[in-house]
Amino acid sequence: MISSGREYHLHTGYERRKLSGHLLDWANQPDIYKEYPRTEKVMLSLDVPMPNETFFQIIGKADTDIRPESISLEEISRIFALAYSITLKSRYPGGEFFHRSVPSAGGLYPCELYMANRNASESSEQNLQPGLYHYAVSKHALERLRPGNFLEKGCALRFFVTAVFFRSAWKYRERSYRYHLLDAGHLVENLVLTLKSLGLPFRANDDFEDREANHFLGLDPQKEVCLAIIDVPGMESASETSRLSEIETLPEAFREASRTSQKEIHYPALTEIHEKTSRLTASANPLPDMLTNICPRPISWQNIPKPETFPEKMNYAEAAIMRRSLRNFVRKSLPKAYYQSLIKILCEGGADDVGDKNAVCIGFLTENIEGVEPGYYLLNRRDASAALVKSGFFMEKMAHICLDQEWLAHAALHFFFVTNLQILEKHQGARGYRHAMLRAGGSGQRIYLGATAMGLGCCGIGAFYDKEAAEFLELNEPSAMLYLLAVGQVKKFF
């Protein structure tokens, strides 16, 4: 029985020579597109004007607190197009693959996106009728699950990010809860950046009542669960809100839609850890600074200034659509401005600021950056300073730790996310594990988008030998690496 985030993380660690071969049951491959039969569909458009700003303009501007009077269907189309739509169809010898605006471990896309809305002004043709909707990715359409006003009077939109357990468990089994959370973190950050690019206010909230959210969405919580909620505040509206006690149970057919395959295998570790992270633990004490609690204690911190200009090759909307996982890294020296820009991306606010910035700390390995000593560094996001933990060429070593994915050795940077699982647990209970993994995924999405905007390759890495990673990074016993991303110049961008 899994009793904490730390225990789950240890339990699902990979160990060299102990990885049991797992044959994929292709006949039972989960469906990655959820659809609700017999629901009213609202088709969204992909042919809508996109924001012009660059990625760095968007992350650099202050969050707005100007509440929109209403949000048109065109704006809603834009939000879903940038946040989670299909952006490319690619062919490979065995078939076709549909990329989305966010990456996903193994391309299994466990996450689903739902939205509830209310209209402050009288409904018009340009507005979406108030209700709860599911985003059908393959159709770029909204499926109406409930009609009515369910949001508080000052809330215009509420997004729910869920994960369908078996989609990733089919391949990654018990380890898959890590990917549910990381993938969800990517999606939350992508959505938040989209809202920011459209000048909308937002409030990310991962401390919500799980049971209430799952009930409202009509999920079968053994199969699919809500992991994060993002609100768009709106004008106070006069129309009444349905009381929670009046929220009916959705039809059984809707609950059944959480099933993705005829023969789903239940992995108790997943429901156990999820159940533990479902408990809200109100801690009066803020988390201590993780940087001083993972073990390496570098002495000399140096500020990394922002570059004179950000070397962007395309604007934000183009980067959101063009984003892919690229692995064809070349050992070519990277000008310093790219490095400074990547650091800037991680130090600016985001969904990350909403939760606790201390939940994870960031380190990186560098090689091949002009004017930067190769080595292992820690990053202090509060003042954008970095400290050298040890100098040397470590990319090859890390590629070996990451299940011998040798191409990783040719990147210019490896960013990794680390936390002290015991401290998280003490301050936030098992929910802290959820926070930390969502944060790591969110920062990962920023790195992907920033790298793409600058014409660099990027790839997230969830597969690594856990103990080897902790040993190499000189972490103390309760600390662990959660996620890694490689960034660098690539042979062919697209």
Which residues here bind ligand FMN, judged by CB under 6 A?
99, 103-107, 179, 182-183, 186, 324-325, 327, 405, 459-463
Q: Distance (Å, rounded) from C-alpha 110 to C-alpha 123?
A: 34
Buried b (16+ CB within 10 A) or exposed e, 141-158: bbbbbbebbbbeeebbbb
Smallest distance from the beta carbon of 328 to ligand FMN, in angstroms?
11
Q: Quick count: other Cβ atoms within 10 Å of Cβ 64?
A: 15
Q: Which is nearer to ligand FMN, 104 or 380 (CB)?
A: 104
The H or E element that residue 390 is part of is: strand 385-391
- Compute φ and ψ for 346, nearest 5 degrees: -80, -20
Residue 93 beta carbon to ligand FMN: minimum distance, rounded to whole angstroms: 16
Instruction: Quote the CA–CA distance of 297 and 475 in Å, as a whole number.
Output: 10
Longest dimension (CA), the chain: 64
Q: Taking the complex as a whole, how short is the minimal distance between the CB of residue 457 and ligand FMN, in angstroms?
A: 10
Nearer to ligand FMN, 187 or 384 (CB): 187
Nearer to ligand FMN, 179 or 377 (CB): 179
Nearer to ligand FMN, 29 or 242 (CB): 29
Check: CB of residue 486 under 8 Å from CB of residue 461: yes
How would you list the strands of the sheet with 111-117, edge to edge? 41-43, 141-147, 131-136, 111-117, 155-164, 224-233, 203-205
User: How far apart are the C-alpha atoms of 377 and 299, rounded to whole Å?
Assistant: 11
Q: How far is the CB of 182 from ligand FMN (least distance, A)?
A: 4
Q: Tell me how far, at minimum, the Cβ of 340 lies from ligand FMN, in Å.
A: 25
As measured in angstroms, the least distance from the Cβ of 87 to ligand FMN is: 8
Q: How far is the CB of 141 from ligand FMN (least distance, A)?
A: 21
**Least distance (Å) from ligand FMN to the CB of residue 391?**
27
> Is 405 or 422 the residue whose CB approaches ligand FMN more closely?
405
The candidate with the shortest Cα–Cα distance to 487, out of 342, 381, 292, is 342
Q: Which is nearer to ligand FMN, 354 or 440 (CB)?
A: 440
- The values of phi and psi at residue 52, to 5°, are -95, -15
Q: Which of 195, 480, 492, 259 is nearest to 360 (CA)?
A: 480
Q: How far is the CB of 458 from ligand FMN (least distance, A)?
A: 9
- Which residue has the CB atom at the shortest distance from ligand FMN? 103
How do strand 385-391 and strand 131-136 relate by DSSP bridges? unpaired
- State phi, psi for 347 to the nearest 5 degrees: -95, -15
Long-range own/partner contacts, residues 247-253 (CB < 8 A, 24 or more apart): 247/146, 247/150, 247/215, 247/216, 249/215, 249/218, 250/145, 250/146, 250/218, 251/218, 253/36, 253/37, 253/38
Please report how close the Cβ of residue 488 comes to ligand FMN at its closest, in angstroms.
14
Cβ closest to ligand FMN, residue 173 vs residue 336: 173
Distance CA 470, CA 104 (A): 24
Rounded least distance, CB 291 to ligand FMN, Å? 23
Give the C-alpha separation, 414 to 42, whole Å.
Answer: 42
Nearer to ligand FMN (CB atom), residue 145 or residue 411: 411
Place of tokens 């990027």: 458
User: Measured from the CB atom, is 335 or 455 closer to ligand FMN?
Assistant: 455
Nearer Cβ to ligand FMN (145/317): 317
- The single-letter code of the amino acid at 231 is D
Q: Least CB distance from residue 347 to ligand FMN, whole Å?
A: 22
Given the complex with ligand FMN, which of 130 and 185 has the nearer CB atom?
185
Alpha-carbon gap, residue 359 to 16, rounded angstroms: 28
Residue 281 neighbours by CB distance under 10 Å = 14
